[in-house]
């Protein structure tokens, strides 16, 4: 890891409150990195959806399982990883929520929203054997960031 990279990693309980906590933490990093209001909204929503996915589908809302959130800030992008302790899933098998037959489905839009709001999105099998959502957003151009130093003020190193 270079000196320009910043890393934040926390372990969250499998509970509803973790969704808000994860979103708030990532929003602070995104704001400090110089993202504008719209991008912060998209990043926050994506983190929220990633943690909801881990809470509900991955960990099956079981309190004995954990949610692992990691944020990396490089000189070009913000990378967010959300890892659960479930059985993993095949991204290709997720139904398309925009298909006519799924429009009135009461669930299944989280993956779609993360894909829509982030620049890169993928799901892998993580070290726990569960699903690891990996998504990223390119940093705003330096000229658009306060003092031209996007990404330099963010991300305290923390283990919880």
Partner 1 sequence: MSLQCTFRDAGTVTVVDFSGKITLGEGSALLRKTIRGLLDEGRMKLLIDLGDVDYIDSAGIGEMVTGYTTVKNRGGELKLLNLTKKVKDLLQITKLYTVFDVHSEEAEAVRSFK
Q: Does 103 bind partner 1 (CB under 8 A)?
A: yes
Smaller CB distance to partner 1: residue 61 or 120? 61
Which of the residues 43 through 82 are near partner 1 (CB under 8 A)?
45, 48-49, 52
The residues in 18-37 that bind partner 1, with binding defined as CB under 8 A, are 19-20
With tokens 């659960």, the residue in question is 84
Share in percent of the chain as helix, strand, coil (round to 5): 35, 25, 40
Q: CA-CA distance, 129 to 31, in Å (whole number)?
A: 32
- Residue pair 121/131 in contact (Cβ under 8 Å)? The answer is no
Strand arrangement, sheet containing 131-138: 6-13, 66-73, 77-83, 131-138, 120-125
Nearest-approach distance from CB 103 to partner 1, in angstroms: 6
Shortest reach from residue 37's CB to partner 1, in Å: 10
Least distance (Å) between residue 85 CB and partner 1 = 19
Check binding of 11 to partner 1 (CB under 8 A): no
For 62-75, letters b (16+ CB in 10 Å) and e give eeebbbbbbbbbbe
Binder of partner 1 out of 28, 112, 142, 153 (CB under 8 A): 112
Residue 107 is a binding residue for partner 1 (CB under 8 A)? yes
Chain contacts with partner 1 (rule: CB under 8 A): 16, 19-20, 41, 45, 48-49, 52, 97-98, 103-107, 109-110, 112-113, 116
């Amino acid at each position: 890891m270079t000196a320009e990279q910043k890393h934040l990693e926390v372990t969250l309980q499998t509970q509803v409150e973790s969704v808000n906590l994860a979103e708030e933490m990532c929003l602070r990093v995104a704001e400090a990195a110089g993202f504008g209001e719209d991008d912060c909204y998209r990043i926050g929503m994506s983190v929220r959806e990633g943690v909801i996915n881990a809470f509900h589908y991955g960990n099956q809302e079981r309190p004995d399982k954990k949610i692992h959130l990691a944020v990396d800030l490089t000189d070009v992008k913000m990378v967010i990883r959300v890892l659960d302790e479930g059985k993993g899933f095949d991204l290709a098998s997720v139904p398309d929520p925009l298909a006519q037959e799924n429009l009135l489905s009461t669930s299944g839009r989280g993956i779609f929203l993360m894909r829509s709001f982030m620049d890169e999105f993928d799901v892998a099998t993580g070290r726990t054997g569960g699903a690891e959502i990996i998504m990223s957003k390119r940093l705003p151009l330096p000229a658009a960031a306060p003092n031209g130093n996007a990404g330099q003020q963010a991300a305290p190193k923390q283990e919880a």
